[in-house]
């Protein structure tokens, strides 16, 4: 049972204003993400939509500077997700995937495709980068699997699928912020799973010594069939997961973000329940669009922001109990569904991508 929802009256503790609005035709923009991997590039962000990945710099005056635009050779590709990554020597990459199930690794310095990661047999829903080893990325796919890649050497290290895996599309993945071996995934079958890579870490280390001239397909990819935790709740399909300490924030199909704690069942070492802590309501976030509405947090997990089907953005204070709606952002020209938000390191800038191809920038006033 989830705790009751609090009043939806915004406190407006911080006022935001639109400082930039960029139109990218009518192609939906599905993803936007700040670079939290490299502290030299905290003001950089990437967006994804259609067969294009755009890299930008957030300027101090509220402007947005386009650094590079990558257009995939496949005109029918549609990128759903993008994540920043970093090479062993400190060079920056962006990793993107989508409709075709092919993952592109783009070198930000030379603006060329560094690697193409092939293996998924369905579209890629989400890509996330390891917080302490940013050469590693996870990909969640329509084919029911999660894959761990070394994006720099191009090898698939682990494939999470099989007997204990997701029987249908995997919607979201996220690495644990402090336990390098763990990540969480959720799927269309209303199941959330926590996985451990600890037993297979020797293969992770092996991936770093795989030479460029070696065939990536010859790497001894391991299949992990059983998670360490599985919980199901058909009444609250969880479609976008993020760790919040050892708890988990999840977007559900009932118009809210849930903060919950994984609880193991007695005498069932791999099975568990959702222990609800708090609920953060998101009005007009319709369930039929659940896969393509994502939320974001600032680096220190003080706030969570998410858009809805009517073009509004809700920002909740994660440090308050009971829940506090920090602010609600709206604009007379923002009427299309917000697909994804991205909060800057300190939360003073909020980016949003929309169904009508608009990229929005909001900035806190007086800071």
pLDDT of residue 7: 55
The phi and psi torsions of 86 (rounded to 5 degrees) equal: -145, 135
pLDDT of residue 215: 82
Residue 255's pLDDT band, with cuts at 50, 70 and 90, is: confident
Eight-state DSSP code of residue 35:
-
The phi and psi torsions of 77 (rounded to 5 degrees) equal: -70, 145
Cis bond before residue 322 (omega within 30° of 0): yes
Q: What is the mean pLDDT of residues 119-139?
A: 97
Percent of the chain scoring above 90 in pLDDT: 76
Chain centroid to Cα 153, Å, comes to 22
Q: Whats the size of the chain, residue-wise? A: 367
Cβ pair 57, 74 in contact under 8 A: no
Q: Read off the pTM.
A: 0.94
Chain centroid to Cα 269, Å, comes to 28
DSSP state letters, 68-81: EEEE-S-TT--EEE
Whole-angstrom Cα distance, residue 8 to residue 67?
Answer: 39
Percent of the chain scoring above 70 in pLDDT: 93
Is the pLDDT at 3 greater than 50? The verdict is no
Residue 236's pLDDT band, with cuts at 50, 70 and 90, is: low
Strands 222-224 and 155-160: parallel
Whole-angstrom Cα distance, residue 265 to residue 277?
Answer: 17
Rounded to the nearest integer, the mean pLDDT of the chain is 91
Structure tokens at 126: 């989400």
Chain centroid to Cα 170, Å, comes to 13
CA end-to-end span of the chain: 40
Residue 150's pLDDT band, with cuts at 50, 70 and 90, is: very high
User: Could you read off the pLDDT of 266-294 as tens digits, one per residue?
Assistant: 777 788 888 888 989 988 876 554 457 89
C-alpha distance from residue 95 to each of 54, 255, 256 (Å)? 12, 29, 29
């Amino acid at each position: 049972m989830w705790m009751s929802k609090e009043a939806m009256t915004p406190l407006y503790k911080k006022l935001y204003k639109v400082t930039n609005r960029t139109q990218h035709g009518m192609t939906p923009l599905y993803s936007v993400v700040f670079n939290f991997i490299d502290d030299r590039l905290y003001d950089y962000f990437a967006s994804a939509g259609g067969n294009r990945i755009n890299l930008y710099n957030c300027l101090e005056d509220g402007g947005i500077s386009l650094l590079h635009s990558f257009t995939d050779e496949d005109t029918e590709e549609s990128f759903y997700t993008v994540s920043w990554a970093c090479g062993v020597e400190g060079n920056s990459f962006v990793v993107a995937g989508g409709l075709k199930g092919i993952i592109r690794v783009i070198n930000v310095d030379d603006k060329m495709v560094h690697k193409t990661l092939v293996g998924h047999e369905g579209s890629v829903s989400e890509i996330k980068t390891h917080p302490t080893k940013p050469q590693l990325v996870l990909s969640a796919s329509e084919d029911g699997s999660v894959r761990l890649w070394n994006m720099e050497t191009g090898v698939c290290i682990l494939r999470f699928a099989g007997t204990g895996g997701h029987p249908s599309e995997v919607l979201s993945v996220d690495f644990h912020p402090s336990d390098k071996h763990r990540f969480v995934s959720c799927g269309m079958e209303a199941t959330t799973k926590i996985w451990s890579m600890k037993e297979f870490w020797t293969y992770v280390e092996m991936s770093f010594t795989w030479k460029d001239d070696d065939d990536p397909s010859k790497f001894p990819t391991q299949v992990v069939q059983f998670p360490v935790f599985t919980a199901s709740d058909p009444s609250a399909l969880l479609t976008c997961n993020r760790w919040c300490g050892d708890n988990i924030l999840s977007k559900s199909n009932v118009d809210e973000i849930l903060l919950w704690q994984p609880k193991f069942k007695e005498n069932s070492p791999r099975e568990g329940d959702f222990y609800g802590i708090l609920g953060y309501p998101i009005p007009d976030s319709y369930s039929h669009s659940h896969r393509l509405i994502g939320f974001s947090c600032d680096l220190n997990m003080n706030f969570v922001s998410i858009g809805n089907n009517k073009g509004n953005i809700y920002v909740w204070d994660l440090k308050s109990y009971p829940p506090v709606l920090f602010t609600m952002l709206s604009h007379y020209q923002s009427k299309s569904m917000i697909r994804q938000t991205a909060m800057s390191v300190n939360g003073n800038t909020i980016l949003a991508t929309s169904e009508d191809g608009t990229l929005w920038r909001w900035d806190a006033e007086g800071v």
